Structure 1
Amino acid sequence: MDASRFIAIKNFHSNLLNNDRDMFIYLPLSYASEADKRYPVLYMHDGQHVFLQDRTGESWDVHLAVDRLVAEGKMREIIVVAVAHVEDARIAEYMHANPDGYNAFGMKNQGELYEQFLLQEVKPFIDKEYRTLPDKANTALMGSSAGGLVSYNIGFRHPETFGMIGALCPFFVSVDSATLGEQWLSRVYKEKAELKIWMDVGDSEGYTVMEKHVRQVADSLVQAGFKTGEDLMFHVAIGSGHSQNDWAARVHAPLLYFFGEIGTPIRIELHGPEAVGLEGQRCSLNAVVHYDSGFVMTDLNARYVVADPEMIEARADGKLLPKKTGITTITYIGYDLTARFDVEVVPYVSEMVTMEMYVKVPDNTPQTDRLYAGIELPPVQERLFGGTFEVPRDVAFMFRISRGLGKHETDGKGREVPYRSFKAADGLRLYYEVENWIDTADERLAEGLR
């Protein structure tokens, strides 16, 4: 990236939070040559990952996505302000007060203070120092995981300032991987606000961020009056986990939605379960609409035609309501496009499945009482972790085996290994072996720093 278009502000001080952090600013290509031109602004959390590689060697590469889309004439030029987090304070700053009144992960929630930091300290500084279009129609706020959650909260609390909200894999619920206990980390807003919202979730995030929780919030937005395809874009990303690489792969979609033209639908993909039970697990279709611009979203207001409507009902939002056993075909019709999906209705599909997983670790493994392989694994004998687990059916995991934050597996030569993946199924047996470890950070907040 051209250094003249990339500004690093070191140790930007917050009087409100009483700490310092870096900010990284991307300026558009025409900024230096068109002295009278003003630009929309995208504010992003976790700023050290937005343009630069993080400790696992990954980045959103937002500057590359913006440059490409602008060069292709698909979006306006924008300024991007990447506000870094303070590591020890990150999870607390990204958490607002929640309905139950507790503080997340043993820290005092500071979301309200962080919100004021953006409103009173960051945005005024940016609007003063750079040629911005400061109104809400030209100001977006975006983040992922806990950064997606804080974007959602700030958007609804201050729609007069941030008119566009990007919540990628928002961390609404903390799930205990051992007990599957759920702890909601945020209130769910039931009222309509004047916002454009992008919300998504990967289908392979395991317990980190679960599709059902994000979908529940998306459903509440629709019930509040948001129109899918208009002021709400929702997407269940196929084959996507919970990493900078995953968000980089689809950041072009909210960029197009906020600052460009999404184009014309050209293809529909229907994803769903092979079998639906009259009793047990509830299921939905994921109608993924692909556009000629590269934009993609899940249609929550579709038209479905069932070959045998007495067998199953497919609602506009994709939810499936089985009525009797058998096999039938569901056809999606929309945007002058069609797609078909065959489904079998059976008497019962359990919500939980039983599976086994074991991980063997090398001799140089430091003493640890657990591993993470999508599932938290206890030790069973020397150099072996694992056991038998009850897991929600069809939940998918994409992961590297780790001993905690930044302490993940590498190959024998210290190189990153590809992400592993599996989808939970009854009787599944998995055996992995770690060749070596890389230590790039300590384990502070290993469960909370999401």
Structure 2
Amino acid sequence: MGKYFGTDGVRGRANEDLTLDMSIRIGQYLGMYYGKDRHAKILIGKDTRLSGDMFELGLAAGATSMGAMVYLLGVCPTPAVSYLIRKERFDCGIMVSASHNPYYDNGIKIFNHNGEKMEEDVLLQIEDYMDGKTSLDLKTGSQIGEYFDWQDGLEIYMSWLKETVPVDLSGFKIAVDNANGSATSTAIETLDSLGATVEAISNSPNGININKDCGSTHPEKLQRNVREGDFDIGLAFDGDADRLIAVNSKGELVNGDYILYICSRYMKSQNSLNKNMCVTTVMANLGLYKALDENKIDYIQTPVGDKYVFEEMQKNDYYLGGEQSGHIIFYEHAVTGDGLLTALKLLQIMKETNKSLEELSDGLFIYPQLLKNVKVNCKEKALKDPRLLNVIQEVADELGDEGRILVRPSGTEPLVRVMVEAKTDDLCESYVQRVVDFIEQNQY
């Protein structure tokens, strides 16, 4: 990771950590990088937060000042940008979003010509320009670029979704939580057009209510609506609609671990689970691994982050992977997580098997899990201490096959994260606290 770009782009509080000048400079560098001998073609999308217009136009101004032709998609899901880059042969794409963060944060994600997250070396070059270490000559006269409002982009994206998962949803009653975010631009229209009866909440963005007590990180209202309204399924998206958390007809959460279990079993039955492999991160629940073993499905673990899941899938041509958070990648169709594509896949499985989400989840026991963060001065010192490693090993030995412990550093904060899965909540609390107490007592 660089100075500004993390695993998911630049992110921070708008006009404090992430400024208009930064967006202009990012746009300028991309316009130059892809426009050395022609006008670069760049796509920009955004979610619904208040600062989105500012950063969208800052990026567009920067890029056009270097001769680029910029197409503004407007409010859209992040995966729409990724797909349209490939479909319409853009040089690159930019998404203005801070995903599940509060409205006062924003972010800038950059995708290459394949719709994948931009290569690290290009991001480092952009950072050098942002810091004034390099300079650019702005275009003049007829070489200056233009921008266009691209109304057709979302229609192309939604048509692709329906062609990819051609499922008749007549008879389905679906509750949808759009998180007052990007999903408001596509989810209801797509599900309606496939024949479903849809009722939406958190579907009126005003710039400051994105993710506020709603969406995939706060699905409680959706769960209540599903329980009280006799729905077949509930769908909760995050702010930029690249994640999905589902709710079954009893109002119970169906997170990314459940989705991976349901999809991997179905894909195996259809001979479409390439190499019989399901890609997970180290944070996937132990219960998922036991259930995959029971179904003779192979799995592999990556570090936390959809970036690492995708890299593993791309390297080995695996078709299914994702995270507990609901960021699911169907590599046969897409190169990034897509909440609406995931929803359609789940609905297709329900339709073709004639089973509810409860029935499809049968055989998966999710172990209770507890995660605590411990503030430290030096993460590396703590995690290299043989005494701490010994305490962690003692816990692992006591858990045996009926649980696990994972202790890892935060990627962005001075924290050590301690996670335990065990048969009961009390066991989780006991084992986590043992490790937390040791770390705090030694004041790393």
Name the TM-score class by shorter chain. under 0.3
TM score, norm. by length of structure 2: 0.26
TM score, norm. by length of structure 1: 0.26
